[in-house]
């Protein structure tokens, strides 16, 4: 999939199509135009400025689009005439089956025509493109969607379309360049965004090709699509106080109705993940199929099977893996603990004899509650997975012997040494801002468009975290390892 003679250019979390949520107003169109303009300029520059190898010859690029580059999840447009698999699509938005993903892709390409045309020109200049599926573009696991995407990009070709399509690759999970780099999006380690089985986002036994339920997919469709004021992009950074402020002042509906919509979403999620929970305990056929898939992946990645199994075992169980894990994810334990603790104090204290007995009983209740609180927190799925990815990068680096491990997902650019491994995240271009300070000798570029470059091989491998300056239209190095 990656040619050893190529240098690696890494982009992640572009979220093309993420602004297509009705109503598509002026602000959304401005964001799309700005992203298309900068991405096209970036690809033109990189296509004509390849690195040069030790022999002085230019080395072609392999552009690794490391997940969430096409935002099928947030794309909220619906056909004018609804029909097909589900009766409630008019209310909740489109389902996550193959036909709907193909329809979404066609409209995303139409709105972001400039970006996909730039990808085609980049490929025609002699470079390659590899798409790695993330949680927002897990739809790329559908084979028909892969065929459509190749066709959409090749439609802009000025020459041989088949040659363009041959230079486009896909990976449902990871890309491993032995002795060089390991690439994956990173949502496997996020309990709220991973699939019941990350290895098979599309259940093999489904009558219609359809994505398995994740908390984020079901939450967006059955809750966020009903509550349009829900802050999709900021919810992971919101504190409990900020959530209460949104509920009280910005939800746009009464608390009773909001609770009912939330309860309806949870009911659907628990019901739809029940099949996955039962299958994981009882289905020997699925487990055997999974082992065969991992063995095939080990051969493809040039890794021993035991190391491939160890890398697979690092993933986080999804929040619907058990009802207890779901309650921890929703902080139900804290609510129950507060209510139960106050009730226990109200019942027990009047029954005690003297202030010493009341102090002893109260201390036992409060101390036991504090211990249980901490015990639950240690088992609660992480909302912020950025620190988790740091630990996992070191582990994957040791197992795969890759000098560089690249994740996305968190939108936070980073290049850091973790043990023997360099952990790299190229950041996100989802919200391309304005150029704040001109890049001169006296001023630093504050552009937030980041990307990464991986060069060399083995001991000569180098990872570079770069910035794309929107004023000078040139790349600038931020860090190197």
Task: Calculate mean pLDDT across residues 193-203.
Answer: 90
Q: What is the pLDDT of residue 442?
A: 46
User: Does residue 439 lie within any of the structural domains?
Assistant: yes
Query: Are 17 and 79 members of one domain?
Result: yes
Q: How many CB atoms lie within 10 A of CB 248?
A: 9
Q: How many domains does the chain have?
A: 2
Query: Are 84 and 186 members of one domain?
Result: yes
Kind of pairing, strands 128-132 and 168-171? parallel
Query: Are 116 and 43 members of one domain?
Result: yes
User: Does residue 417 lie within any of the structural domains?
Assistant: yes
pLDDT digits (tens, 9 = 90+) for 159-168: 889 999 999 9
Task: Calculate mean pLDDT across residues 387-400.
Answer: 93
**DSSP-assigned states of every residue in 241-285:** HHHHHIIIIISSS-HHHHHHHHHHHHHHHHHHHHHHHHHHHH-HH
Task: Calculate mean pLDDT across residues 305-309.
Answer: 93
CATH no. for residue 164? 3.60.21.10
Over 90: is that where the pLDDT of 55 sits?
A: no
Average predicted confidence (pLDDT) for the chain? 86
Q: What is the pLDDT of residue 168?
A: 95
User: Does residue 209 lie within any of the structural domains?
Assistant: no
Query: Are 161 and 97 members of one domain?
Result: yes
Q: What is the pLDDT of residue 441?
A: 46
User: Does residue 323 lie within any of the structural domains?
Assistant: no
Over 90: is that where the pLDDT of 230 sits?
A: no
Confidence of residue 85 (pLDDT cuts 50, 70, 90): very low
pLDDT digits (tens, 9 = 90+) for 309-325: 999 999 999 998 888 99
Over 70: is that where the pLDDT of 289 sits?
A: yes
Confidence of residue 404 (pLDDT cuts 50, 70, 90): very high
For the ranges 48-52, 154-158, 278-282, the lowest mean pLDDT is seen at 278-282
Expressed as residue numbers, the domain containing 462 is: 7-190+385-480
Q: How many CB atoms lie within 10 A of CB 391?
A: 14
Query: Are 462 and 356 members of one domain?
Result: no
pLDDT digits (tens, 9 = 90+) for 97-144: 999 999 999 999 999 999 999 999 999 999 999 999 999 999 999 999
Most confident option among 23-37, 107-121, 242-256, 343-357:
107-121
Which residue, of 340, 357, 379, is where some domain finishes? 379
Which residue, of 348, 379, 410, is where some domain finishes? 379
Kind of pairing, strands 421-425 and 414-418? antiparallel
Query: Are 161 and 71 members of one domain?
Result: yes
Query: Are 35 and 100 members of one domain?
Result: yes
Query: Are 398 and 341 members of one domain?
Result: no
Q: What is the pLDDT of residue 7?
A: 87
Q: What is the pLDDT of residue 38?
A: 92
User: Does residue 157 lie within any of the structural domains?
Assistant: yes
Query: Are 374 and 412 members of one domain?
Result: no
User: Does residue 78 lie within any of the structural domains?
Assistant: yes
Q: Could you tell me the two tokens for 295?
A: 């063995």
Over 70: is that where the pLDDT of 437 sits?
A: no
Q: How far apart are CA 227 and CA 258, in angstroms?
A: 8
pTM of the model: 0.90
Confidence of residue 438 (pLDDT cuts 50, 70, 90): low
Query: Are 347 and 396 members of one domain?
Result: no
Task: Calculate mean pLDDT across residues 302-314.
Answer: 93
State the sign of the Cα–Cα–Cα–Cα dihedral 212, 217, 219, 220: negative
pLDDT digits (tens, 9 = 90+) for 14-52: 999 988 988 888 888 998 999 999 999 999 999 998 887
For 6: left if phi > 0, alpha if psi spans -120 to 50, otherwise beta; the answer is beta
Query: Are 371 and 443 members of one domain?
Result: no
Q: How far apart are CA 411 and CA 117, in angstroms?
A: 25
What contacts 358, CB < 8 A, 6 or more positions away? 349, 352
Closest CA to 39 of 376, 449, 417: 449
For the ranges 63-67, 328-332, 389-393, the lowest mean pLDDT is seen at 328-332
User: Does residue 344 lie within any of the structural domains?
Assistant: yes
Which residue, of 350, 379, 408, is where some domain finishes? 379
Confidence of residue 92 (pLDDT cuts 50, 70, 90): confident
Query: Are 398 and 360 members of one domain?
Result: no
């Amino acid at each position: 999939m990656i040619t050893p003679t190529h240098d690696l250019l890494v982009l992640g979390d572009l979220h093309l199509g993420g602004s297509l949520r009705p109503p598509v107003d002026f602000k959304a169109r401005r964001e799309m135009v700005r992203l298309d303009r900068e991405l096209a300029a970036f690809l033109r520059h990189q296509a004509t400025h390849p690195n040069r190898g030790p022999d002085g010859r230019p080395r072609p690029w392999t552009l690794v689009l490391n997940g969430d580059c096409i935002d099928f999840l947030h794309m909220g447009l619906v056909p004018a005439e609804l029909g097909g698999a589900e009766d409630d699509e008019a209310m909740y938005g489109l389902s996550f089956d193959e036909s709907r993903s193909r329809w979404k892709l066609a409209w995303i390409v139409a709105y972001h025509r400039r970006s996909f045309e730039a990808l085609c020109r980049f490929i025609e200049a002699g470079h390659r493109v590899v798409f790695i599926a993330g949680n927002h573009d897990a739809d790329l696991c559908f084979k028909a969607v892969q065929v459509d995407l190749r066709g959409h990009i090749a439609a802009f070709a000025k020459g041989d379309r088949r040659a363009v399509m041959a230079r486009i690759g896909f990976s449902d999970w990871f890309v491993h360049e032995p002795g060089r780099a390991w690439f994956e999006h990173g949502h496997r380690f996020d309990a709220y965004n991973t699939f019941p089985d990350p290895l098979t986002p599309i259940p093999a036994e489904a009558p219609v090709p359809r994505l398995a339920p994740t908390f984020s997919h079901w939450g967006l469709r059955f809750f966020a699509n009903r509550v349009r004021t829900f802050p999709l992009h900021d919810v992971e950074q919101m504190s409990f106080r900020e959530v209460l402020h949104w509920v009280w002042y910005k939800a746009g509906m009464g608390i009773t109705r909001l609770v009912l919509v939330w309860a309806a979403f949870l009911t659907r999620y628990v019901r739809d993940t029940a099949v996955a929970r039962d299958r994981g305990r009882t289905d020997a056929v699925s487990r055997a199929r999974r082992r065969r898939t991992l063995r095939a992946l080990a051969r493809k990645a040039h890794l021993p099977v035991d190391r491939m199994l160890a890398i697979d075992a690092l993933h986080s169980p999804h929040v619907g893996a058990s009802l207890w894990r779901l309650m921890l994810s929703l902080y139900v334990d804290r609510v129950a603990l507060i209510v139960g603790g106050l009730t226990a104090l109200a019942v027990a204290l009047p029954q005690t004899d003297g202030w010493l007995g009341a102090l002893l009983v109260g201390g036992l209740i409060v101390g036991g509650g504090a211990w249980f609180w901490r015990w639950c927190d240690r088992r609660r799925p992480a909302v912020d997975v950025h620190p988790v990815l740091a630990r996992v990068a070191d582990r994957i680096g040791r197992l795969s012997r890759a000098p560089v491990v690249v994740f996305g997902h968190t939108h936070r650019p980073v290049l850091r040494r973790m043990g023997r491994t360099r952990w790299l995240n190229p950041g996100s271009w989802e919200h391309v801002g304005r150029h704040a300070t001109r890049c001169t000798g006296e001023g630093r570029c504050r552009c937030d468009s980041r990307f990464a470059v991986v060069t060399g091989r083995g001991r000569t491998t180098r990872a570079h975290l770069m910035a794309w300056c929107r004023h000078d239209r040139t790349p600038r190095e931020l860090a190197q390892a």
